Amino acid sequence: MANIAENIKRIKNQLPDGVKLIAVSKFHPVEKLLEAYGAGQRFFGENHAQEIAAKAPDVPHDVKWHFIGHLQSNKVRMIMPHIDMIHSIDSVKLIKTVNKEAARIDRIVKVLLQIHVAQEKTKSGFRVDELLSLADTGQFEGLDHVKVCGIMAMATNTDDKKQVALEFSTVRDTFEKLKKDFFSQDDCFQELSMGMSNDWKIAVDQGSTMVRIGTDIFGPREY
């Protein structure tokens, strides 16, 4: 049995100041989430719209939901009242839908642009060159109900630490280029969401500001 409170404490003790821990509670019941909440955890990551909508009424109001999975445009409305940040913007169509749905309920929602640096084709996200050219043509401008706060990425699932470090450093370089060329006036553009249970230490070494950790906190998921 995972001791959730101890796991959170152990991880937080190892995170440098300013690096946020997102506890990935997907597929875990609300009771486990509340155990983490009791240990002071406030940021929770989920990757299914239905799961956030189902859990949200059963948790305290200061829980901050972070959406981290592939998001279909037709599910945006379902999460909009609950969500603190969407890490996984992977198309122009999606960010426009998020902007529209946020406007509909008169709020501003924080988002990250997801880039694809891993070797697995199944992982989603913009290619680096694609993202830079979309930014260059102003595709992320004029969206008054979203705040672009940085970028998110997943590394290849491999034991090759050098490969993972190289991918994370590509993410950081892309973040810095975007910040300098397109988001320099944007105070909010400062988050680099990278690192999961098996690679978060490497991610932190490479400049991560948000680690998304599930298994290391809650134990294995039962699908």
Ligand X SMILES: *Cc1c(COP(=O)(O)O)cnc(C)c1O
Q: Which is nearer to ligand X, 13 or 185 (CB)?
A: 13
Smallest distance, Å, CB 32 to ligand X?
13
Cβ-Cβ contacts under 8 Å for 143 (sequence gap 6 or more): 95, 96, 99
Residue nearest to ligand X (CB): 214
In three-state secondary structure terms, 53 is: helix
Candidate segments 93-101, 138-146, 161-169, 194-202, binder of ligand X by CB under 6 A: 194-202
Sheet strands (E) in the chain = 20-24, 43-46, 64-67, 83-89, 109-116, 146-154, 191-193, 210-213
Check: CB of residue 218 under 8 Å from CB of residue 30. Answer: no
Asked if residue 69 binds ligand X (CB under 6 A), the reply is yes
Scan residues 148-177 and list those touching ligand X (CB under 6 A): 154
Burial status of residue 16 (CB atoms within 10 A of its CB: 0-12, 13-18, 19 or more): exposed
Q: Could you tell me the smallest distance in angstroms from the CB atom of residue 213 to ligand X?
A: 5
Instruction: Output 47 or 174, the one with its CB closest to ligand X.
Output: 47
According to DSSP, residue 126 is labeled: B
Give the CA angle between residues 16, 70, 210 to the nearest 5°: 5
Contact 194, 170 (CB under 8 A): no
Q: Which residues, numbered 198-217, are part of the site for ligand X (CB under 6 A)?
A: 198, 212-216
Query: Among all chains, which residue has been given the structure tokens 């950790």?
Result: 213
Q: 18-37 mask for ligand X (x: CB under 6 A)?
A: ------x-x-----------
Shortest separation between residue 58's beta carbon and ligand X, angstroms:
21
Task: Establish if 197 lies at the interface with ligand X (CB under 6 A).
Answer: yes
Span of 33-41, 96-104, 132-140, 196-204 interacting with ligand X by CB under 6 A: 196-204
Nearer to ligand X, 98 or 182 (CB): 98
String of contacts with ligand X for each residue 70-109, x by CB under 6 A: ----------------------------------------
CA distances from 160 to 105, 166, 216 (A): 45, 10, 19
Residues found near ligand X in the complex (CB under 6 A):
24, 26, 47, 68-69, 154, 196-198, 212-216
